[in-house]
Chain A
Amino acid sequence: MRAPYSLLHLHKDLRLEWRSRDAINSMLFFSLLVVVIFSLAFDPTRAFSRQISGPIVCVAILFAAVSALNQAWARELRHNVLEAHRMSPAPAASLFIGKVLATFLFVSAVEVLLTPLFVIFYNLSALGNAWMLLLGVPLGTWAILVNGTFFAALSIRSRNRELLLPLILFPIFMPALLSMVLAISAILSGDADPALWIKMLAGYDIIFTAISLLLFDTVLNAE
């Protein structure tokens, strides 16, 4: 049985990243910078940490994701490989979903590496259901990556694409960002139930994944 096209693209992206380590290195650098700078700026106590950690985690993920997204299509543009994809009979949506999955794995790897640093630098312990972080963080990460991959593809023909991407992405991502911040803060402080925000993130993910998959062929073949 043949693997789906998207897994073929995913495998290719993972191997390319393994050899070049372009995305992982820049993601780690930016997110570490955020963690260290904020910890030095606030000198947080345990209680204060619970209040500010949600936004800081999100900012670190956001920076890591944008850095990965800038790299995501760069390899396809180098030597016009994207045109080879346009000429191939494989569905465009499979290229998109493979790219989102690959970037999701890269960002998730960075998140796993950052978690112990957060605990150490911010003296963190969750008062709510900590396992819900395993829902909230990946759903929020998927939200930014599915939108980001789509808008990065939309802006690849622009000369100022690295500037254009956050400009288009952040306003669209805002509802998901707020849900993610509130969900993480609720889990860490234990003050509120994060279920509503997690459901909202799931809904956001479903809607934007479906829209991106439907429109990606048009974006890929735009002149």
Chain B
Amino acid sequence: MGAPSWARSLRSGWDDAVSLYFPRIVILLLRVPAIVQLESLSKLYGSFVALRKITASFEAGRCYLLLGENGAGKSTLLRVIAGLLRPTHGVVRVFGEAKPAHVRDRIGYMSHAPMLYDEFSAAENLRYFAGLYRERACLSPEAALRAVGLDPALARPVGQYSQGMRQRASLARVLLPQPDLLLLDEPFSNMDAGSARQMLDLLERQRAQGQTILLTTHQRELAEPLADFILTLQAGAVESLLPARTAAPA
């Protein structure tokens, strides 16, 4: 004897609900928390619109590759997330803080310029900057330099370094306070293929340790293996934000 019809319909409704909602609940529970959230973010320089209503979130422990032509707004976006620029409209939340400047000790920012003193050696620069991050468990300057493939004993001032060496020293400065979020603006520029590969391996290790990486580059083929997601900007607006494997090839 079968179950009454009301029981069958109840069971069927339950099954439908489970099949429909259970995967979504699992996805929600497994979802990696977003450490950077952008809501309708716009940045204007006078009348020039550098960023247009960008809404996106970046999850912890992922690597995001920011692509776009020159002037697409990649560097401006990184600077806004770093708290170096204030958005004209919209909200940026980093580690849940509406003012990224309040969590700046957890952010490592590498710009086009090395942000180092020419007169000091790389180790001297790093010793100085380590002193500014007292509350963080900093790497030793020697360890940071070794991690980027520079000799800590090198006494030459940074002003006499090649461009590639400056980039490495700059990355060492960024890695020194072991930040949770790395914002890297064109880290492979002026680097030979071997050095860029070494830097990629290093960034891969940083991501494996749980650091989130937002990286801009024009060398997509080089950085793509590292990326989890690819964010493409076009004239200051988000054109696409896709998982790296499904993003359209360059």
Contact = CB atoms under 8 A, between A and B. Distances in A.
Interface of A: 2, 5, 8, 12, 15-16, 19-20, 75, 78-81, 83-90, 221, 223
Q: 8 smallest A-B Cβ distances: which pairs?
A: A80-B113, A89-B105, A88-B132, A84-B115, A90-B132, A79-B113, A19-B119, A8-B131
B86 A223 contact: yes
Nearest to B100: A87
Given A12-B128, A79-B113, A89-B133, A20 B119 contact: yes
Given A83-B111, A88-B133, A8 B85 contact: no
Nearest to A94: B132
A88 B115 contact: no
Residue with the highest number of chain B CB atoms closer than 10 Å, among A19, A89, A221, A223 = A89
Nearest to A90: B132
B85 A223 contact: yes
B105 A88 contact: yes
B129 to A, nearest CB: 7
Contacts of A81: 115-117
Contact of A79 (B84, B107, B115): B115
Given A19-B119, A86-B84, A80 B111 contact: yes
Nearest to A16: B119
Q: How large is the interface on B (under 10, 10 to 19, 20 to 34, 35 or more residues)?
A: 20 to 34
Contacts of B152: none
Residue with the highest number of chain A CB atoms closer than 10 Å, among B111, B132, B133, B136 = B132
Chain B: interface secondary structure? loop
Contact of B109 (A5, A12, A83): A83
A78 B85 contact: no
A112 B120 CA distance: 28
A5 B132 contact: yes
B82 interface: yes
Nearest to A76: B117
B114 interface: yes
15 contacts: A8-B128, A8-B131, A19-B157, A79-B113, A79-B115, A79-B118, A83-B109, A83-B115, A84-B115, A84-B116, A84-B173, A87-B82, A87-B83, A89-B104, A89-B105
A85 B157 CA distance: 20
Contacts of A12: 117, 128
Contact of A84 (B83, B86, B119, B129): B129
Given A12-B128, A80-B111, A75 B134 contact: no
B221 interface: no
A26 to B, nearest CB: 16
A2 B114 contact: no
Contacts of B83: 87
Residue with the highest number of chain B CB atoms closer than 10 Å, among A8, A19, A87 = A87
A84 B171 CA distance: 12
Contacts of B192: none
B101 interface: yes
Contact of A87 (B85, B104, B124): B104
Contacts of B118: 78-79
A107 B134 CA distance: 31
A39 B65 CA distance: 66
Contacts of A86: 84, 104
A16 B129 contact: no
Interface string B97-109: 0000100110111
Nearest to B183: A87
A221 to B, nearest CB: 7
A15 B111 CA distance: 25
Given A80-B111, A83-B84, A83-B109, A89 B132 contact: yes
Contacts of A15: 119-120, 124
A79 B115 CA distance: 5
A12 B126 CA distance: 12
Contacts of A87: 82-84, 104, 107-109
Contacts of B105: 88-89
A9 to B, nearest CB: 9
A90 B101 CA distance: 12
Contacts of A88: 104-105, 129, 132-133
A15 B133 CA distance: 20
A4 B208 CA distance: 35
A85 B117 CA distance: 12
A83 B185 CA distance: 14
